[in-house]
C-alpha cells in the first residue's frame, strides 16, 4: 500500500522517488544553463506516470521534493518580534536587501532557528530565521512536470533534509553528500545551518583515478571501486596502487573541504562513501582531528539520504518542519490543467448559449471581468498606501537603534597587536560586546584590555577566559565589554575624540 506522501530527490544527474517501499530512479539530462532538455522532460513525465499509475478519480498525491544546492542561497536573518502578517512584510524587505533578485523572481522559504542551540552571548531581541531562496524558474520547471503527473509538489533544500539522519550530532558539524560529478557540503553552527556549498568533486573522480593508475577501462575501474572485496582479492602491489590512487583523490577533496569548513565532525552520504576505507582515509586527509561518520541507509532503488531524510522529517503526516519554498503557481496550474472528454461538449454548449444572447447582454458579460479586475487593482493599490508610512517608520527605527558596530571595530582594530585573530564577535542593541580570538601571548591580552579601557569607549572590559591554544604557541582569549552610555546609541564617537587620538 502506498504511503500518503511521495518523497523525491531532484539532483544534478538523477531524480529519485520513494513511495512507501517502492522506488524509482531516472537520469536527468541538462542544458549548459542547467535547465532540463525537452527530451528529458518527456522521459520524466512518462516514467513518473508509469510508476504512479495515476487514476483520474484518485486524489492528487502530495510530494515532498528536495532540490540540489546549486543556485540556492542561504541566509540567517535576525528580525524583531512581530505578528505573522508583519513578519511576511519584514522578510520581503530583508530579502530585497540580502539577495540579488527581487522576491517576485525568487522561490523562497524560511523557518525559525532553534534559539536553544544559538550562542548565549550577544543575543539580539526578536527571533533569528533561516531563509533559503532560488530562482523561481527552477522550481516552476520541476513543478510543471510533477503537476502534469497528478502530484501536488512542495519543495525544500535536500541538504537540510539529510541532517535528519545524523545520529546525535554535536552543536557544530557538517554533512558531505558525494554525487556522481559534484558534491554538496552543508555546515551547521550551534545546530543551525551556516553555509551550503557545491564542490567540483564526485564519485567519477575516484573512478578516473583508478582508471588512470591501472591503465584499465572505465567500466572495470568502476567495478573495482564499488566492489567491497576487490582490493583485498588483488595482489599486494595492485592493492597498493589502488589505495594510492584513492588517497590522492581524497586529498583533493579534503583541500576543497578545508577551504570552506574547519569543524571536527563530518557526516558522509552517497554511493561512493560505501567504499570500505573512504571515511578513515578522508579523515586522515583532513588532518586527523576530524571524525568522519557515514550515514547508514537502507539500500534500494529510490532510497537515499535525502529521500529518507524527507520521510523522517515529515513522518507520515502532510506537514514538514523544513523550510518550504514559496512561489507563484499560476503558470504551473495552467500547464497542469489537462483537457478531458467533456471540454469540447461544454464549449459547444457555451457557444450555443452565446448565440442566443443579444449583443447588448453579451457586451455586458464580456466587459464585467475586465471591470472587476480594474476595481480589484484599484482597491489593492489603495490598501497599500498606508503601508508605506509603516515601512518607513520601521526603517527609521532600524536607523536610530543600531548598535555602534563600526566604532567598536575601529577601536579594537587599533588596540590589537600583530598576529591577533578574532574568531567570533557579537554585540546587542544595548552595547554589550562579546568576542573570542587568539593572541600571541598573555601579555598581549593584558595590553589589549588596557588599550580598550584607555580609549574611553568601553565602560567595562573583562578578560573572561585565557587558555593556551592546542599548538601551545598562542593563547585563546574571550572578552566581554560594555559600551559607555554616551556611546551606546547612534552617533558613535563623541565630537571631541578623533580616530587619530584613539590610535595614540
What is the residue-wise DSSP string for 311-330? HHHHTTSS--SSPPPB---H
3-state secondary structure of 241: helix
| Residue that finishes a domain, picked among 378, 398, 418 | 398
Question: What is the model's pLDDT at position 126?
Answer: 57
**Distances 500 to 381, 410, 411, 503 between C-alpha atoms, Å:** 52, 11, 11, 5
- Per-residue pLDDT tens digits of the chain, which is 504 residues long: 444 688 999 998 899 999 888 899 999 999 988 889 999 999 999 999 888 885 544 567 889 999 999 989 888 888 887 787 788 888 888 888 888 888 888 999 888 875 544 444 444 445 788 899 999 999 999 999 999 888 999 999 999 999 888 888 888 899 999 998 899 999 998 888 888 999 999 989 988 988 888 888 888 888 887 774 444 445 677 888 888 888 898 999 999 998 888 889 999 998 888 888 889 999 999 987 899 999 988 888 889 999 999 988 876 444 457 888 887 654 444 444 444 456 777 877 888 777 766 656 666 777 788 888 898 888 887 777 777 777 778 787 777 777 777 888 888 888 888 888 888 888 887 778 898 998 888 888 889 989 988 888 888 888 888 888 777 778 899 999 888 876 665 444 443 344 444 444
Q: Are residues 286 and 317 both part of a single domain? A: no
Closest CA to 110 of 81, 85, 87: 87
- Say if CB 41 and CB 92 are below 8 A apart: no
- Say if CB 184 and CB 68 are below 8 A apart: yes
CA separation for the pair 63, 67 (Å, rounded): 12
CA separation for the pair 213, 246 (Å, rounded): 10
Question: What is the model's pLDDT at position 60?
Answer: 76
Cα 356 to chain centroid distance, Å, stands at: 58
Q: Are strands 475-483 and 432-439 parallel, antiparallel or unpaired?
A: antiparallel
| Paired residues of 6 in beta bridges | 63
Q: Are residues 416 and 391 both part of a single domain? A: no
Question: What is the model's pLDDT at position 86?
Answer: 83
Q: Are residues 443 and 351 both part of a single domain? A: no
CATH code of the domain containing 470: 3.30.1360.100
Instruction: Give pTM, 2 decimals.
Output: 0.61
Closest CA to 267 of 292, 235, 240: 292
Closest CA to 165 of 337, 379, 308: 308
Q: Are residues 411 and 386 both part of a single domain? A: no
| Paired residues of 461 in beta bridges | 481
Closest CA to 10 of 91, 69, 51, 94: 69
Structural domain boundaries enclosing 178: 167-294
SS3 content of the chain, % helix, strand, coil (to 5): 45, 25, 30
Q: Are residues 38 and 157 both part of a single domain? A: yes
Question: What is the model's pLDDT at position 494?
Answer: 42
Q: Are residues 87 and 198 both part of a single domain? A: no
Q: Are residues 132 and 37 both part of a single domain? A: yes
CA separation for the pair 160, 150 (Å, rounded): 26
Cell 553528500 found at: 177
Closest CA to 130 of 165, 152, 105, 163: 163
Question: What is the model's pLDDT at position 422?
Answer: 87
Question: What is the model's pLDDT at position 215?
Answer: 86
Q: Are residues 446 and 333 both part of a single domain? A: no
Q: Are residues 313 and 451 both part of a single domain? A: no
CATH code of the domain containing 197: 3.30.420.40
Q: Are residues 276 and 128 both part of a single domain? A: no
Question: What is the model's pLDDT at position 145?
Answer: 92
Cell 575624540 found at: 497
- Say if CB 29 and CB 36 are below 8 A apart: yes
CA separation for the pair 16, 63 (Å, rounded): 12
Question: What is the model's pLDDT at position 501?
Answer: 45
CA separation for the pair 79, 119 (Å, rounded): 16
Q: What's the domain count of the chain?
A: 4
**Distances 301 to 15, 16, 21, 25 between C-alpha atoms, Å:** 11, 8, 9, 6
3-state secondary structure of 396: helix
Region class of 189: left (phi > 0), else alpha (psi between -120 and 50), else beta: beta
- Say if CB 415 and CB 448 are below 8 A apart: yes
Which triple of cell numbers denotes residue 248? 590522492
Give me Rg for the CA atoms of the chain. Answer: 29
Q: Are residues 193 and 290 both part of a single domain? A: yes
Question: What is the model's pLDDT at position 185?
Answer: 93
Q: Are residues 366 and 494 both part of a single domain? A: no
Amino acid at each position: 500500500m502506498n504511503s500518503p506522501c511521495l518523497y523525491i530527490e531532484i539532483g544534478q544527474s538523477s531524480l529519485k522517488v520513494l513511495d512507501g517501499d517502492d522506488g524509482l530512479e531516472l537520469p536527468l539530462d541538462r542544458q549548459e544553463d542547467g535547465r532540463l532538455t525537452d527530451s528529458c522532460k518527456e522521459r520524466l513525465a512518462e516514467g513518473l506516470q508509469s510508476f504512479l499509475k495515476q487514476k483520474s478519480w484518485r486524489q492528487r498525491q502530495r510530494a515532498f521534493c528536495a532540490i540540489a544546492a546549486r543556485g540556492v542561497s542561504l541566509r540567517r536573518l535576525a528580525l524583531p518580534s512581530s505578528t505573522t502578517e508583519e513578519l511576511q512584510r519584514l522578510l520581503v524587505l530583508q530579502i530585497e536587501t540580502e539577495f540579488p533578485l527581487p522576491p517576485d523572481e525568487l522561490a523562497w522559504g524560511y523557518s525559525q532557528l532553534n534559539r536553544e542551540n544559538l550562542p548565549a552571548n550577544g543575543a539580539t531581541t526578536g527571533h533569528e530565521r533561516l531563509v533559503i531562496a532560488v530562482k523561481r524558474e527552477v522550481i516552476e520547471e520541476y513543478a510543471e512536470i510533477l503537476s502534469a503527473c497528478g502530484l501536488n509538489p512542495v519543495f525544500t533544500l535536500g541538504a537540510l533534509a539529510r541532517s535528519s539522519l545524523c545520529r546525535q550530532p554535536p552543536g557544530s558539524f557538517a554533512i558531505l553528500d558525494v554525487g556522481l560529478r559534484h558534491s554538496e557540503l552543508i555546515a551547521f553552527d550551534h545546530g543551525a545551518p551556516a553555509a551550503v556549498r557545491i564542490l567540483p568533486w564526485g564519485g567519477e573522480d575516484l573512478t578516473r583515478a583508478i582508471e588512470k593508475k591501472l591503465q584499465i577501462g572505465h567500466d572495470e575501474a568502476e567495478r573495482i571501486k564499488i566492489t567491497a572485496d576487490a582490493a583485498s582479492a588483488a595482489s599486494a602491489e595492485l592493492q597498493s596502487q589502488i589505495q594510492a590512487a584513492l588517497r590522492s583523490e581524497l586529498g583533493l577533496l579534503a583541500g576543497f573541504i578545508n577551504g570552506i569548513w574547519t569543524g571536527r565532525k563530518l557526516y558522509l552520504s552517497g554511493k561512493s562513501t560505501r567504499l570500505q576505507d573512504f571515511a578513515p582515509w578522508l579523515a586522515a586527509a583532513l588532518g586527523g582531528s576530524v571524525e568522519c561518520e557515514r550515514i547508514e541507509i537502507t539500500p534500494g532503488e529510490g532510497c537515499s539520504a535525502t529521500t529518507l531524510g524527507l520521510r523522517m522529517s515529515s513522518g507520515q503526516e502532510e506537514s514538514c518542519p523544513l523550510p518550504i519554498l514559496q512561489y507563484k503557481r499560476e503558470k504551473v496550474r495552467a500547464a497542469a490543467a489537462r483537457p478531458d472528454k467533456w471540454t469540447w461538449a461544454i464549449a459547444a454548449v457555451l457557444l450555443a448559449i452565446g448565440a442566443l444572447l443579444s449583443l447588448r447582454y453579451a457586451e455586458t458579460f464580456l466587459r464585467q471581468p475586465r471591470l472587476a479586475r480594474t476595481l480589484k487593482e484599484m482597491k489593492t493599490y489603495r490598501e497599500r498606501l498606508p503601508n508605506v508610512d509603516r515601512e518607513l517608520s520601521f526603517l527609521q527605527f532600524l536607523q536610530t537603534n543600531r548598535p555602534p558596530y563600526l566604532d567598536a571595530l575601529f577601536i579594537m582594530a587599533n588596540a590589537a597587536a600583530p598576529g591577533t585573530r578574532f574568531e567570533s564577535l557579537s554585540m546587542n542593541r544595548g552595547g554589550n560586546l562579546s568576542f573570542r580570538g587568539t593572541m600571541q601571548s598573555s601579555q598581549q591580552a593584558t595590553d589589549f584590555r588596557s588599550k580598550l579601557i584607555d580609549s574611553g569607549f568601553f565602560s567595562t572590559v573583562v578578560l573572561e577566559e585565557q587558555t593556551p591554544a592546542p599548538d601551545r604557541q598562542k593563547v585563546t582569549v574571550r572578552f566581554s565589554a560594555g559600551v559607555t552610555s554616551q556611546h551606546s546609541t547612534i552617533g558613535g564617537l563623541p565630537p571631541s575624540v578623533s580616530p587619530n587620538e584613539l590610535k595614540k
